[in-house]
Structure 1
Amino acid sequence: MQNELKYTVRSREIVDLATAMKNSSLTLSPYFQRNLVWRDAHKRDFIDTILRGYPFPQIFLARGKIDVENMTSSQAVVDGQQRLNAIREFIDGKLEVDGKSFRDLTSRQKEDFLKYEVPVIDFDLEAGDPRLKDVFHRLNRTYYALSAIEKLASEYSASEFLLVARALAGEILKTEVPIEELGDVGSEDDAETIPGNMFSRDPGIEEATWDWIVENAEGSFATLIRTEAIFTTFEFDRKVPLMFSLNVICTYLAGYYNRNDRVRKFLDEKSEVFPEKKELFSVLNATADFIVQMNLNKSSMWWNKANFFTLVVELARLPKLREQAPVDAGIKLQVMEQNLSSEYSLAAREAVNNRAQRDLRGEMVRSALEAPLP
Structure 2
Amino acid sequence: MTMNTSASNRRLRVLLTAIGSGALIPQPDFQRRLVWTNKDKVEFIRTVISGYPFPEIYIAAGRVDPKTGEGAEVLVDGQQRVTTLYQYFKGDPDLRLPADIQNYENLPENKQIEFLEYSVVVRDLGAMSIEVIKDIFKKINSTSYGLNAMEIDNARYDGEFKKFSEKLSEHKFFYDYRIFTSSDIKRMNDVRYCLGLVTTIMSTYFNRDKEIEVYLEKYNEEFDGKDLLNTNITMVLSFIDSMNFTASSRAMKKADFYTLFVEVHRLMIYEGVDLDNSKCRNSLDAFYEKVEEVSSNTYKGTEDEPQVYYKAALQASNDRSNRISRGKIIHSVLIGD
Give the structure-2-normalised TM-score.
0.55
Q: Deviations over 1:188-221 (max 9, x none)?
A: xxxxxxxxxxxxxxxxxxxxxxxxxxxxxxxxxx
Aligned to 2:184: 235
TM superposition shift of 1:298: 2.7
TM superposition shift of 1:67: 12
Aligned 8 A contact 1:290 1:322 in 2:
no
Aligned to 2:289: 338
* Alignment pair present for 1:270 and 2:215: no
* Alignment pair present for 1:254 and 2:217: no
Aligned to 2:160: 160
Corresponding pairs, count: 209
Aligned 8 A contact 1:336 1:368 in 2:
yes
1:358 corresponds to which of 320, 323, 333: 323
Amino acid at match of 2:195: L
TM superposition shift of 1:227: 2.3
Give the structure-1-normalised TM-score.
0.50
Amino acid at match of 1:161: F
Alignment of 1:94-133 (within 5 A): 129=81
TM superposition shift of 1:331: 1.2
Aligned to 2:145: 144
Amino acid at match of 1:236: I
Alignment of 1:1-374 (within 5 A): 1=10, 129=81, 138-139=139-140, 141-157=142-158, 159-170=159-170, 222-319=171-268, 323-340=274-291, 341-371=306-336
TM superposition shift of 1:276: 2.4
TM superposition shift of 1:130: 7.1
Task: From the two aligned structures, give the one with the greater helix fraction.
Answer: 2
Q: Whole-Å Cα distance in 2 between the matches of residues 370 and 130 of structure 1?
A: 56
Identify unmatched segments of 5+ residues in structure 2. Answer: 1-9, 16-35, 37-45, 56-79, 84-135, 292-305
Q: Whole-Å Cα distance in 2 between the matches of residues 286 and 355 of structure 1?
A: 26
Secondary structure, counterpart of 2:315 in structure 1: coil
Aligned 8 A contact 1:294 1:328 in 2:
no
Could you say which structure has the larger radius of gyration?
2
TM superposition shift of 1:136: 11
Identify unmatched segments of 5+ residues in structure 1. Answer: 6-31, 33-63, 77-127, 171-221
Q: Whole-Å Cα distance in 2 between the matches of residues 243 and 288 of structure 1?
A: 18
Shift in alpha-carbon separation, 1:143–1:317, aligned structure 2, 3 A: same
Shift in alpha-carbon separation, 1:75–1:271, aligned structure 2, 3 A: closer
